[in-house]
Amino acid sequence: MILNCKGLNHTDINKSIRKAIEKGENEILLNNVNGQGYLFAGIKNGIRAIINGVPGNDLGGMMDGPNIFVNANIQDCVGNTMNSGKIVVHGDAGDILGYAMRGGKIFVKGKVGYRCGIHMKAFGEKIPVIVIGEDAGDFLGEYMASGIIVVLCKNKVKLDSNYIGVGMHGGAIYVRGIVDEYSIGKGVTVSKLDEWDLNFLTNILNEYSADMNSKEKYNLNEFVKLCPMNSRPFQRLYSY
């Protein structure tokens, strides 16, 4: 299905998406998207979608299955509480990307804004993954309970984000390049990669490169791993 979204609000677009799914469509092309929010929110279907234009806030919120490819930038809170599926962004992302993700993958070619991956968690055997091609804003991985964030720092030698992993009590952040000690939140430690890490990064970066139509090869020796020292980094502040 091909839908011209010019002049349509998000309700009209989502109704058309759901009708297409009911008719058995397996691919949707949305043209002239211009800030409409909540697209594909709550959709439980493995449909493939291509978006031409800039979708608004909460793209893919609480979705469970769709594979969405955006040929532009995205706005805030994309992938909010998503359960499964994939969002591939051939541009930059706004703030709070992947808020409370429980599963699925978000791949971003460019940079992301503040508080990316905040409250990421996991559900059952699902582990949410965010891969960022360039840089990330402050408070990356804030309050992470699980999940994985990978930052590739393209054309840079270090991650410029401050307050990384503040309140983090689960999951892992992999960074290609230098991470200054002062930029890391309390209770977060930097470690070398083990065999599981290397295998995971090899597989996820191959998938990322394929989705980005990139032939770039990554030296895994350039990556460091950030993870919480324990599951209750601030337990001494409480009486229980």
In this model, does residue 211 exceed pLDDT 80? yes
Question: How many domains are there within the chain?
Answer: 1
Measured at the CA of 26, the angle between CA 23 and CA 27, to 5 degrees, comes to 115
In this model, does residue 232 exceed pLDDT 90? no
Residue holding tokens 């234009």?
53
Q: Which tokens belong to 74?
A: 């995205």
pLDDT attached to residue 237: 61
**Stated pTM of the model:** 0.95
Q: Is residue 135 part of a domain?
A: yes
Q: Is residue 73 part of a domain?
A: no
Count CB atoms within 10 A of the CB of residue 100.
Answer: 21
For residue 160, give the CATH number of its domain. Answer: 2.160.20.60
Work out the pLDDT band at 239, boundaries 50, 70, 90: low
Count CB atoms within 10 A of the CB of residue 191.
Answer: 11
pLDDT attached to residue 156: 84
Is beta strand 105-108 parallel, antiparallel or unpaired with respect to 84-89? parallel
In this model, does residue 66 exceed pLDDT 80? yes
Q: Is residue 120 part of a domain?
A: yes
pLDDT tens digits, one per residue of 216-231 = 999 999 999 999 987 7
In this model, does residue 160 exceed pLDDT 60? yes
pLDDT tens digits, one per residue of 25-55 = 999 999 999 999 999 999 999 999 999 999 9
pLDDT attached to residue 56: 97
Q: Is residue 161 part of a domain?
A: yes
- Contact criterion met (CB below 8 Å) for 140 and 162: no
Which domain covers residue 220, as residue numbers?
92-237
pLDDT tens digits, one per residue of 5-28 = 999 999 999 999 999 999 999 999
Is beta strand 223-228 parallel, antiparallel or unpaired with respect to 172-176? antiparallel
- Contact criterion met (CB below 8 Å) for 218 and 141: no
Instruction: Tell me which amino acid residue 61 is.
Output: G
